[in-house]
Amino acid sequence: MALGLLWLGLVLLGVLQTQALDSTPNLIPAPPLRRVPLQPDFQNFQGKWYVLGLAGNEFNKEKHRQFKIYATTYELNDDNSYNVTSTLAWNQTCDHWLRIFIPTSRRGQYTLGNIERYTGIQRYVLRVAATDYTQFAMLFFKKIYRNQEYFKITLYGRTKELTPKLKENFISFAKSLGLTDHHIIFPIHQCMDK
Ligand SMILES: *[C@@H]1O[C@H](CO)[C@@H](O)[C@H](O)[C@H]1NC(C)=O
Ligand SMILES: *[C@@H]1O[C@H](CO)[C@@H](O)[C@H](O)[C@H]1NC(C)=O
């Protein structure tokens, strides 16, 4: 379990264990940003999202089968940056993980604040690919970590319910970026869910 939390923390940070890197030497190349959709006229969503789907060139469906649904909250600052807090249930308590997303000149596209604190991360960009604000959002993340390029996408839901349509759209999105079923995971509910 301790390793599970470590892994999750690293994924949230966008950093992987060296061990995992060694076992995935042939990464699917990250798509250029121009090939990734951007939500037109993004209107700064806020509040809590549940992470219902994850996919990326560092994900492995078999290895990450036990991955649990967790929540991520977006709080808008006055300068249009976001405080993004992920909450993970862990050992009967909740752990919080905060990072800051800084807006870029493209609406809906952000970089990671305080990037110098994250050892090994040379570049980090994310964009809101699509959202309807009230039910779902799909985000794209790309980073360069120790000269390797990683990318991932996340499916957010306002509730913990993963509808077949959301699931299907997310799978299509993942595949449009060159990923396969093998790279897509749908986190499971936790036994302690209320
Ligand atoms: C975001 O985080 C900073 C630093 O922890 C804090 O000072 C600020 O009040 C937070 N902003 C919001 C909108 O919660
Ligand atoms: C879980 O929490 C309890 C009580 O806070 C603590 O005594 C125990 O060491 C923790 N276990 C782990 C694996 O962190």
**What CATH number does residue 68 fall under?**
2.40.128.20
* Bridging pattern class, strands 148-157 and 136-145: antiparallel
CB under 8 Å to 175, separation ≥6 — which residues?
none
| 191: in domain | no
Beta-bridged to residue 123, according to DSSP, are 144
Number of domains in the chain: 1
| 151: in domain | yes
Residue nearest to atom 4 of ligand 1 (CA): 83
| 16: in domain | no
| pLDDT of amino acid 19 | 43
pLDDT one-digit tens code per residue, 65-85: 888 899 999 999 999 999 999
| 144: in domain | yes
Q: In the predicted model, is pLDDT for residue 164 greater than 90?
A: yes
User: Which ligand 1 atom sits nearest the alpha carbon of residue 78?
Assistant: 13
Give φ, ψ of 61 to 5 degrees: -55, -40
Average pLDDT (141-156) is: 95
| pLDDT of amino acid 15 | 46
For residue 58, what are the domain limits? 45-185
| pLDDT of amino acid 7 | 52
> How many CB atoms are closer than 10 A to CB 127?
21
- Ligand 1 within 6 A of 168 CB? no
| pLDDT of amino acid 121 | 92
Percentage, residues of the chain above pLDDT 70 = 83
| 128: in domain | yes
| 32: in domain | no
pLDDT one-digit tens code per residue, 13-30: 554 444 444 454 689 999
| pLDDT of amino acid 91 | 67
Measure 134 CA to ligand 2 centroid, in angstroms: 37
- Ligand 1 within 6 A of 46 CB? no
Choose the weakest-confidence range: 55-59, 85-89, 90-94. Answer: 90-94
Separation CA 47–CA 150 (nearest Å): 27
Average pLDDT, the chain: 87
Helix (H, G, I), strand (E, B) or coil at 160: coil
Give φ, ψ of 126 to 5 degrees: -140, 155
Average pLDDT (121-146) is: 96
Separation CA 158–CA 160 (nearest Å): 7
Which letter does DSSP use for residue 72 in this model? E
| 21: in domain | no
| 24: in domain | no
Measure 86 CA to ligand 2 centroid, in angstroms: 20
